[in-house]
């Protein structure tokens, strides 16, 4: 007699809950998304402001320059590492809970940072704050991709663009205001009011999803450990490399080799893991791989509108941050209007986003070409027309990249895309700063030597000890008599000033080269992307 068997489901892994149901687009939801935007923007702003105000902070806390540089590097390393993890934990604990917790934690650490009793405590707190701060920008892209209706999706991505174009360009003004007018403690405390507001708005407007703790059964622990450690070490290599003389430092060599080994294990693990941090198979889609590559290059390009003018104004003209601030604001403040306008243009179906990207790259390139003609006679007003092109060019370059890349991402893949994009963006910002800084320094040293070789009236000085940076150590006149300190100082300052100007000019030209490469990639790699829901229907 045959017995009927009853199928028994395996109790080992419970069935995953269905994806959250689409949320109606209401004013309450918009308020919650504004909260995520505020928190994300002030996360990026905090990083730049503290970097700019580092000298004042070091003086107030009695920190020397070397430990101070490690405080910056530790924050940036933790920030980029957290970008890899944030989407996974947001999916697990729920987006609403995770965003509120991260915003409040970010504010709490900011409140106690000025009271650090020693450098070790200060660096440890900066690492914790970097973890909270790095977790915020990925949430902005996540909510934009998940909650916004198709016709508003590009406007959500334009809000994400603001975190890359607005914050860095208003940081100089804010840093000067806190240190010169209010008090250096506000370099850290500035994030507390907006993040408390953001947590309130998020709690009110973002819907509460159920927690998905079953995801811990498939947690990618190998990827989390190797990925975050590897990327953090690589950030420290880039941030400390110039100060420690790159591969001449055993510490840099050890960190670099360790980083490469850890990242190699990470990528191998991610390819086969059932619930990875990075879904590498998505890179087979041309638009996504092009978007990640181009976004990395764009993070270098945006430095031409902030870092290079600031370097000239401070190094050559002797301006302080409060005097340089208005120049950076000419890029930062217009973003509040220009970024949504670019989104509106891209929402028109017959507008090819690739053309907008190339126009944006062209504007940045033309701005850099004008900057390459910089001379000692330039003042702040000489930069305004260059900054105006940057103000339009930056969002015109970044937003089409996001549109093209996210257009090939399905809603369930949003967390994977967010993790990859934000990690690439954070790492590329550090890499761009290191690249431009190292390139400018090497070109400045080169031009110093060239200028000295052509200084016929001081030929005898060339046989004296020289530090390669416009300073002589044992000066003599052509007739062998001692040169006056005043004359030598004036000559050294002249050489250093001219070499700095030429180094900045070369940096502008280098950035033009990157823009040309990105334009060529745009012509040959990505496919045409149409807006999620255009203003005009597709013609029959």
Domain boundaries, the chain: 23-210, 220-274
Coil/strand/helix, residue 466: strand
CATH superfamily of 23-210: MFS general substrate transporter like domains (1.20.1250.20)
Dist CA 237 CA 264 (whole Å): 17
Q: Which residues pair with 472 in a beta bridge?
A: 466
Dist CA 305 CA 389 (whole Å): 9
Torsion sign across C-alpha atoms 233, 235, 240, 241:
positive
Taking only the tens of pLDDT, the chain with its 540 residues reads 444 444 444 444 444 445 555 667 899 999 999 999 999 999 988 888 888 888 888 888 888 778 888 999 999 999 999 999 999 999 999 999 999 999 999 999 999 999 999 899 999 999 999 999 999 999 999 998 889 888 899 999 999 998 888 877 888 888 888 988 899 999 999 999 999 999 999 999 999 999 999 999 999 999 999 999 999 999 999 999 999 999 999 999 999 999 999 999 999 999 999 999 999 999 999 899 999 999 999 999 998 888 899 899 988 888 887 788 888 888 888 999 999 999 999 999 899 999 999 999 999 999 999 999 999 999 888 999 999 999 999 999 999 999 999 888 887 888 999 999 999 999 999 999 999 999 999 999 999 888 877 764 444 444 454 455 545 444 545 555 555 667 667 777 888 899 999 999 999 999 999 999 999 999 887 788 888 764 444 443
Coil/strand/helix, residue 472: strand
Concatenated DSSP letters for 198-259? HHHHHHHHS--PPP-GGGGGG--HHHHHHHHHHHHHHHHHHHHTTTTTGGGSHHHHHHHHHH
């Amino acid at each position: 007699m045959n017995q009927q068997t009853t199928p028994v489901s395996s109790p080992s892994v419970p069935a995953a809950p269905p994806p959250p149901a689409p949320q109606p687009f209401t004013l309450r939801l918009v308020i919650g998304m504004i909260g995520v935007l505020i928190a994300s923007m002030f996360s990026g702003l905090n990083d730049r402001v503290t970097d700019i105000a580092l000298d004042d902070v070091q003086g107030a806390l009695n920190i020397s320059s070397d430990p101070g540089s490690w405080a910056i590097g530790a924050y940036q390393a933790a920030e980029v590492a957290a970008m890899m993890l944030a989407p996974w934990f947001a999916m697990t604990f729920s987006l609403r809970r995770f965003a509120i917790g991260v915003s409040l934690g970010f504010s709490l650490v900011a409140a106690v940072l000025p009271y650090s009793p020693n450098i070790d405590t200060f660096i440890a707190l900066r690492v914790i704050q970097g973890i909270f701060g790095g977790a915020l920008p990925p949430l902005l892209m996540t909510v934009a991709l998940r909650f916004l209706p198709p016709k508003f999706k590009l406007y959500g991505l334009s809000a994400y663009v603001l975190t890359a174009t607005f914050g860095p360009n208003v940081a100089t003004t804010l840093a000067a205001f806190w240190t010169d007018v209010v008090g250096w403690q506000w370099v850290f405390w500035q994030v507390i009011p907006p993040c408390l507001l953001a947590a309130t708005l998020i709690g009110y407007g973002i819907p509460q999803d159920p927690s998905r703790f079953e995801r811990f059964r498939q947690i990618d622990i190998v990827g989390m450990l190797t990925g975050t450690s590897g990327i953090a070490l690589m950030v420290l290599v880039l941030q400390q490399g110039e100060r420690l003389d790159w591969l001449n430092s055993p510490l840099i060599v050890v960190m670099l080799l360790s980083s490469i080994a850890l990242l190699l294990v990470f990528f191998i693990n991610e390819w086969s893991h059932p619930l990875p941090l990075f879904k590498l198979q998505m890179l087979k889609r041309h638009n996504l791989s092009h978007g990640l590559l181009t976004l990395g290059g764009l993070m270098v390009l945006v430095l031409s509108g902030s870092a290079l003018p600031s370097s000239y104004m401070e190094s050559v003209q002797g301006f302080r941050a409060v005097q340089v601030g208005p120049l950076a604001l000419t890029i930062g403040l217009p973003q509040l209007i220009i970024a949504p306008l670019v989104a509106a243009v891209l929402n028109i179906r017959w507008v090819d986003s690739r053309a907008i990207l190339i126009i944006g790259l062209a504007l940045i390139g033309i701005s850099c070409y004008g900057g390459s003609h910089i001379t000692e006679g330039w003042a702040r007003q000489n930069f305004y027309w260059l900054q105006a092109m940057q103000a339009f060019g930056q969002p015109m370059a970044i937003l089409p990249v996001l549109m093209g890349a996210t257009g090939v991402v399905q809603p369930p893949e949003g967390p994977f895309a967010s993790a990859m994009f934000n990690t690439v963006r954070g790492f590329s910002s550090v890499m761009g700063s290191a690249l431009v800084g190292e390139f400018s320094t090497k070109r400045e040293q080169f031009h110093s030597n060239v200028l000295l070789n052509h200084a016929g009236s001081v030929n005898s000085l060339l046989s004296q000890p020289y530090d390669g940076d416009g300073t002589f150590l044992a000066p003599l006149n052509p007739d062998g008599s001692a040169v006056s300190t005043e004359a030598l100082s004036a000559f050294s300052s002249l050489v250093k000033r001219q070499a700095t100007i030429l180094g900045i000019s070369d940096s502008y030209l280098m950035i033009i080269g990157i823009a040309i490469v990105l334009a060529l990639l745009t012509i040959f790699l990505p496919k045409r992307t149409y807006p999620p829901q255009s203003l005009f229907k597709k013609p029959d």
